[in-house]
A and B are shown apart, each in its own frame.
Chain A
Amino acid sequence: MSDVSAESRGQRTLAFLNYLYLLLMMGVIALILTVALVFQYAYGELPCPLCLLERLAMFGVCFGIILTFRHGFSYQHTGVSLLFALILVIVAERQSLLDIYPRPGHAYIGSAIFGLHMPVWATIIGLVLLFTIIAKMAVIGGDRALERIGLAAFPVLARAGAIVSLYVILLLAINLVSAFLQCGFNECHTYGYQLLGGPTAPPAGGT
């Protein structure tokens, strides 16, 4: 009897740790995307097309987590998050290699944080996300616990997950409007917001 109860407690703990882990991961991504928006609007650093694709990949990772919080655990949701973490690494690494040698039309844009520019940070973020998901599977595991014990067993986590999920959806809506103002349905560039009458060509002597 006590063994059953201990096993049940263990499974509950594993399920709790899994949901907490996912919540923290989504919270960190939301923070990164918020900082990106602050840099865009407070410091006027417009995102390049590949930067926008990197933001989208981070939203893709959140998509898998949001589905888990909304519909419960599924390997499909984890798979979507893993796929977008991998896509983020591929896009960010390609952009790092694209701009690694400054030449007309290509150079790292924006501010460097701790000496690293955005594409390098995006590569690191993507690798950390991949490692985080893999570490969750390898260390916490507990998939059977997740199938048995739903999020309803942890009302505080469920509420926190819903709040962060809605915040991510709000961020996504802001990014959508922002991308529309910057690019319209045309090619994106970093000279200004096309739909607000910004320049459509680089300034003289600029890249």
Chain B
Amino acid sequence: MITGIFILMFLATASGWLGWRRLAGAFMVACIGLYVGEFLWEVWSPTTGFSMPWLQGGLAVPSLPGEA
């Protein structure tokens, strides 16, 4: 799919350079759509979804002042 995004980006840029602005815009819209889909697919995990469980926060002190 990434090759497809490169093709669309190339077509958009080449069309823009050659003066076909509407065509360039159409290719760019398709490119952005495919790009977002590819990005979401790349970071999605069947086990953890979009979360990042390897990042865990913790308090440096057992309790904050004023808490029991």
Contact = CB atoms under 8 A, between A and B. Distances in A.
Given A169-B13, A176-B10, A52 B39 contact: no
User: Which of B2, B4, B38, B52 counts the most A-chain CB atoms under 10 A from its CB?
Assistant: B2
A67 B24 contact: yes
Main secondary structure of the interface of B (DSSP, over half): helix
A68 B34 CA distance: 24
Interface residues of A, number: 38
Given A67-B16, A165-B17, A172-B10, A50 B42 contact: yes
Contacts of A98: 43, 52
A19 interface: no
A153 interface: no
Given A66-B13, A103-B54, A185 B42 contact: no
A63 to B, nearest CB: 5
Given A49-B42, A50-B42, A169 B14 contact: yes
Interface in A86-102: 87, 91, 94, 97-98, 100-101
Interface residues of B, number: 28
A10 B7 CA distance: 42
B17 A60 contact: no
B3 interface: yes
B17 A56 contact: no
Contact of A179 (B3, B28, B43): B3
A183 interface: yes
Top 7 closest pairs, chain A to chain B, by CB = A176-B6, A101-B54, A180-B3, A179-B6, A67-B16, A179-B3, A52-B2
26 contacts: A49-B38, A50-B43, A53-B39, A63-B12, A63-B16, A66-B16, A66-B17, A67-B16, A67-B24, A70-B17, A83-B32, A91-B39, A98-B52, A100-B55, A101-B54, A101-B55, A166-B17, A169-B10, A169-B13, A172-B10, A173-B10, A176-B9, A180-B6, A183-B3, A185-B1, A188-B2
